[in-house]
Homo-oligomer: A and B are copies of this chain.
Amino acid sequence: MTQQEKAPGQPRFSAERLGRYAQEIMHARGMSLEEAKTVADALIWANLRGMDTHGVSRIPMYMRIIDKGEMDPKAKLQLLHDTLAVKVIEANRSAGPLAMGWASDLAIDMAQKAGIGMVMVRNTTHTAALGIFSEKVARAGMSCIAMAASRPNMAYHGAKAAGVSTAPFSLAVPGKDNTPIILDMASGVVSMGKLLQYKAKKQTLEPGWALDDEGNATTDSQAASIPLPLGGPKGSGLSLMFELMTSLPLMNPLIGHFFSDEHEAQRHCQNAMIIAMDIYQFCSKEAFQKEIVQCIQTLKALPVDEKAGEILMPGERGYREREKRLIDGVALPPSLLKTLNEVALSLNVDPLI
């Protein structure tokens, strides 16, 4: 059963309608129509794939960080470093999907010429779901590696406090029939969004998911505030490496200054990296697609674990959800709808009804 089927009473909106609404809000808040559409498309991408924590539910947060001057709706992107296979974008605190979208285009273009292309993105804001950008690269017939670094919110292994972030990581390859295989994962055992869901529903957490403010392990969702890393040192190690591989060479460190008294040390800020690899320069597209079908068939033919119910490929659930939501629309919880309409009203945007 999908998330939406569990909430049959919620109002639903077509992706087109919801996207237009998100675009109107971002435009009214200062972005150009085109930039507002890029941001709206990223939010709707997540909603359609069932990642509601990365969909229009982010709009109130975007408004807050614009108010605080942490996201700049008028910012212009710049190229700080521009070579054949490596580029660096200064995002100047623009909305994440703007720099990330440009970064994936540039990476694809460089990979077509040089076989591989890497774009580093400095000083951006919430990158949205990384899978949007790795999918774009994979649809261009390339493999993709993408990562992002953010402010500490997750425990570092061995510490009783947040030291790294639930940083995302995405790997993608072209699939058959224009259906890329997309792994889009975070480095925590559980996402911040899931912790908040459990908190809202007053549900008990599983052991090993989170710490409380004092850094003690807890299964009480009301007390939990710090998610634990996936596999202890592995998850927190991954998250730290994303910081060391993006924020540090970009001279925009997020961890090292977070606990200092420096001005803006705790502002919302992200750094990212996206690499495109043009694999069809050294292998045949037809042969690759034949092998990917064979690999998927082999895994799907394994004996199924009854508890899991079925054997899925990375991203498969998202494709399925997208098919459904393109027809059924995207359901919004009434409280979210109310909040969004308050935002819309304050900006003279027609409410969703």
Chain A: residues with CB nearer than 8 A to chain B?
Answer: 80-81, 83-86, 88, 114-118, 120, 143, 145, 156-161, 163-164, 171-173, 181, 183, 185, 189, 215, 230-231, 233-235, 237-238, 240-241, 243-245, 248-251, 253, 255-259, 275, 277-279, 281-284, 287-288, 291-292, 294-295, 297-299, 301-305, 308-314
Contacts and interface: CB of A to CB of B under 8 A. Distances in A.
Contact of A298 (B250, B251, B255, B288): B255
A292 to B, nearest CB: 6
Contact of A81 (B156, B163, B215, B282): B282
Work out how many copies of this chain go into the complex.
2
Nearest to A88: B282
Which 3 residue pairs spanning A and B have beta carbons closest together?
A: A86-B115, A158-B308, A256-B294
Contacts of A291: 248, 251, 253, 256
Nearest to A214: B303
Given A145-B275, A173-B244, A240-B295, 5 more contacts: A85-B116, A86-B277, A161-B302, A183-B237, A243-B295
Contact of A181 (B171, B241, B310): B241
B114 A240 contact: no
B248 A299 contact: no
Given A173-B244, A314-B237, A158 B304 contact: yes
Contacts of A158: 304-305, 308-312
A143 to B, nearest CB: 5
A352 B257 CA distance: 52
